[in-house]
Structure 1
Amino acid sequence: MATKRCNNYLSEELVFIILSYLPVISLLRCKSVCKTWLSIITSPQFIEAHLANSKKKQASVLKASYDWRVLSMDTVEESVKLKLPCERLEGKVRYMRSCNGLVCLSNESYYVICIWNPCTRQYKRLSVPNYAHNVAICLGFGFDCIGNDYKVLRIVRKVIRGRDMSEPEAQLYSANADTWKKIQVPDNIKDSLSTKLKILCGPDISGMLYLGGEGGLVPFDLRNNVFGEIVVLPFPKHVQEKRIKKSKILNFEGSLAMVYESAGDESVLSLWILDDVGLWIKKFNLEMELELDRMYLYLGAQHFLGLNFVFGYKFYNYKKKTTKKLPFPAHLTDVNSVVKFTESLVSLEGFKSQE
């Protein structure tokens, strides 16, 4: 009587799907299993599918101390210390932004800029335009999904004898072209960007960067490489004095969002989003067991990252109305920068391995 043979074969399509849900650290090991798995994991289609699955999960938090001696990746369950990829950035990082698993780092003058994947430990230091007497006042980082291109936006102004003496100039780096080019700044936006020496730039939200200017937010379209019309904040200035902003620019499920104190109740925070027609809508109140003085990030999967001035940084679940401390707690004075991070296998041309 013939013995039946057990068929343990998995199709390549099924292997693709299973692997796409694994963390990056596991995938790096899986590349050594066989040539077929290596081919799957390194293919552009797999990297895109894995990133899409990673975005469905709650993101991690990249957190750095002021002296940059401690850089960590925090989740609700654990905290992992990281090493900066470039010696020129040691103890000098001023700026940190993340998009699709890549992190853009810069020193205080924005002349040393590095794009880094902490999970794969690969990075690339960019060649930055060095115009005489110019100082960078803003840096943005995001993804152009139409051109499949990662871009860095840099705003500079000329400084003479310690004084800001010029209109702002925009410079844009394209990872695909590996070059910088000048971008025209409309006159009405020049006035908005010229009011402050340091301008904040929020995260990439559906292919748009938002710069904090006078009178509102200045959008930059990463697909068409142009500035848009100024987005006015939810409340007039005299109303904002009563409704205090409790966050910078947030990306809430793909929408531009900000957190304010609710009118008449300083203990309750409200989330406001910008809808498709340019109107600000109150989404919901952020009710919680422990009062948070500031909201920093929306991490997905119902979780925010907030700060209590006494108890430090907390994860906050807005559905359950519960808070939980970070595994590696830090007080406000200990932290220079926090960003949302989604792990991925994304790499750029010219990436090299971190030592």
Structure 2
Amino acid sequence: MKRIRLASYDSQKHDTGNKFQLVLSVMDLPEEVFVIILLKLSVRSIISCKCVCKTWLNLISSPQFFKLHMAQARTSLLFRDGDYYVAEPEDGRDLDFKYCWCETKCNRNYCCASCNIRMSSKLKCPMHKTRVMLSNQDDQYSNVSFDKYTRLINSCNGLVCLAESSDDGHGAIYNPTTGEFIILPQTLNNHENVTLFRVSGLGYNTKNNDYKVIRIVQRNDGSVEAEVHKVGTNSWKSVGSVPHSAVRLVFPTYLGGALHWAHDKYMKMATRSIISLDLDNDKFESHPMPPINGKETSVGVFGGCLCICGLHWKENLNYIDVWVMKKNGDWESWTKMFSIKVHDRFPVRGFGYYLPIYSSNGALLLYRITHRVLLYYDQGWTDVKHVHSRDFYGFQVICHTPTLISLRDIVTRENM
């Protein structure tokens, strides 16, 4: 390794003709100082540092460094607009991006130019024809390709869960930073007469340091069960029967070692609830919702806490109510944060899911599923602003934090 030398001279010694040179290298820095330097680099630069020497590789690959990095990592947005992009806040400014999807064709009164959102730092993710990294290369589904109709399910610790729109069980776990991805296995046990496989979310098991995918399986007779897959292995484990309405568990949110879904009254339930899957024990739990108005509800994260949004109709206007769980895990600590008035450009009375996908300093980005648009709201505003995409049918967006996790390392560890 070529050393970077830092020289220091004692001026008094130099004047008397006795010159001393203090020679240091990066390798001589205390580890805690070197870690601080690394944490200031971008994810891609840190990954490049793993190739310098074995010492750096071991340090950057350690669980301790990963935890430090995730604790200070900046949240990004992963977009799909015909292709895949990652957008990150620049210069420490929140919700301030410079790339605009609607820059070529849009009524400028409604595009990003009319508010403080600028989309930038565009990173094309190599989703098409990328080499599939799979622990079992003989799997009959190892050559599955993902096209523009692939759904973004969610992101957990920088790993992205993808699924085909056909709900046939095809899916993948992807790291946009490294370009690695793993096709989810299709190993089936006693799965005759199956009519639906719905990939429903990716989460992290803090107890055993592994990642899990949940999918819902429905058979011809109407029975429904849930299965869990540990990323890096080649099998699924049944975690038991679930209510038929579980096939509607969509738009997952990972927080605090569990996956959460809104379970609203359209799912033939007497009362609405929030369904959680504890990834330590693979157990489902049902929790009461706050007294939120609206028919379609969705969960997300606001200020590091679980939140829930609901749309309702009042005085000929749509309103989005946002409730936040002030103390995570305390289901009695729900607090109503605000009610957002929506002068809807797509006036459908009290209809549509609004997903809270990003928040910072009281500002909130919402993704409207039914019309594939982003809405931007800041506390104190009387209305929201709309942000549009060029590709209506392909547009999706989720919250995402770039990660150092290597899927190759996960596969290797799980198959040792």
SS where residue 82 of structure 1 aligns? coil
Cα displacement (A) at 1:181: 0.8
SS where residue 184 of structure 1 aligns? strand
Q: Which of residues 217, 222, 247 is equivalent to 1:166?
A: 222
Query: What's the TM-score, normalizing by structure 2?
Result: 0.67
Q: Which of residues 208, 233, 258 is equivalent to 1:147?
A: 208
| 8 A contact 2:163–2:199 mirrored in 1 | no
Post-superposition Cα deviations, 1:80-130, rounded to whole Å, max 9, x if no partner, equal 232214561123413421100101112223422211111011122221234
Distance 1:146 1:198, change over 3 A: same
Are positions 1:248 and 2:298 aligned together? yes
Distance 1:342 1:324, change over 3 A: farther
| 8 A contact 2:365–2:375 mirrored in 1 | yes
Counterpart Cα distance in 2 of 1:62 and 1:267: 27
SS where residue 45 of structure 1 aligns? helix
Cα displacement (A) at 1:34: 4.3
Cα displacement (A) at 1:15: 0.7
Which residue in the other structure is 1:200 paired with? 250
Counterpart Cα distance in 2 of 1:247 and 1:5: 67
Structure 1 gaps of 5+ residues are 160-164
Which residue in the other structure is 1:190 paired with? 243
- The structure number with the bigger radius of gyration is 2
Which residue in the other structure is 1:273 paired with? 324
SS where residue 36 of structure 2 aligns? helix
Counterpart Cα distance in 1 of 2:391 and 2:319: 21
Are positions 1:113 and 2:140 aligned together? no
| 8 A contact 1:297–1:340 mirrored in 2 | no
Which residue in the other structure is 2:3 paired with? none
Q: Which of residues 171, 184, 197 is equivalent to 1:126?
A: 184
Counterpart Cα distance in 2 of 1:37 and 1:299: 33
Are positions 1:44 and 2:40 aligned together? no
Are positions 1:299 and 2:358 aligned together? yes
Post-superposition Cα deviations, 1:23-82, rounded to whole Å, max 9, x if no partner, equal 21111333344443333223332222212211xx3x2121224xxx32222234313232
Counterpart Cα distance in 2 of 1:290 and 1:264: 12
Distance 1:176 1:88, change over 3 A: closer
Counterpart Cα distance in 2 of 1:153 and 1:98: 13
Distance 1:290 1:121, change over 3 A: farther
| 8 A contact 2:153–2:163 mirrored in 1 | yes
CA RMSD of aligned residues (A): 3.5
Q: Which has the higher contact order (CA 8 A, sep 6+)?
A: 1
Instruction: Please tell me the residue identity of whatever aligns with 2:32.
Output: E
| 8 A contact 1:137–1:156 mirrored in 2 | yes
Are positions 1:216 and 2:273 aligned together? yes
Are positions 1:60 and 2:76 aligned together? yes
Which residue in the other structure is 1:232 paired with? 288
Distance 1:324 1:231, change over 3 A: same
| 8 A contact 2:261–2:299 mirrored in 1 | no
Distance 1:291 1:7, change over 3 A: farther
Q: Which of residues 50, 66, 80 is equivalent to 1:31?
A: 50
Instruction: Please tell me the residue identity of whatever aligns with 1:74.
Output: A
Distance 1:80 1:292, change over 3 A: farther
| Identity across matched positions, percent | 24
Q: Where do residues 268-347 of structure 1 align in structure 2 (5 Å cutoff)?
A: 269-274=320-325, 275=327, 276-279=329-332, 281-285=334-338, 295-302=354-361, 303-306=363-366, 312-318=373-379, 329-330=388-389, 333-347=392-406
Cα displacement (A) at 1:285: 1.8
Instruction: Please tell me the residue identity of whatever aligns with 2:21.
Output: R
| 8 A contact 1:97–1:339 mirrored in 2 | yes
| 8 A contact 1:142–1:151 mirrored in 2 | yes
SS where residue 402 of structure 2 aligns? coil
| 8 A contact 2:372–2:396 mirrored in 1 | no
Distance 1:288 1:166, change over 3 A: closer
Counterpart Cα distance in 1 of 2:357 and 2:149: 27
Query: Comparing 204-213 with 99-108, which one deviates more in the overlay?
Result: 204-213
Instruction: Please tell me the residue identity of whatever aligns with 1:208.
Output: A
Q: How many residues align?
A: 325
Q: Which of residues 126, 138, 144 is equivalent to 1:83?
A: 126
| 8 A contact 2:200–2:252 mirrored in 1 | no
Instruction: Please tell me the residue identity of whatever aligns with 1:202.
Output: P
Post-superposition Cα deviations, 1:170-209, rounded to whole Å, max 9, x if no partner, equal 1111136553211123xxx52543xxx5431411121222
Cα displacement (A) at 1:252: 2.4
Distance 1:82 1:233, change over 3 A: same
Cα displacement (A) at 1:151: 0.4
Which one has the bigger strand percentage? 1
Query: What's the TM-score, normalizing by structure 1?
Result: 0.77
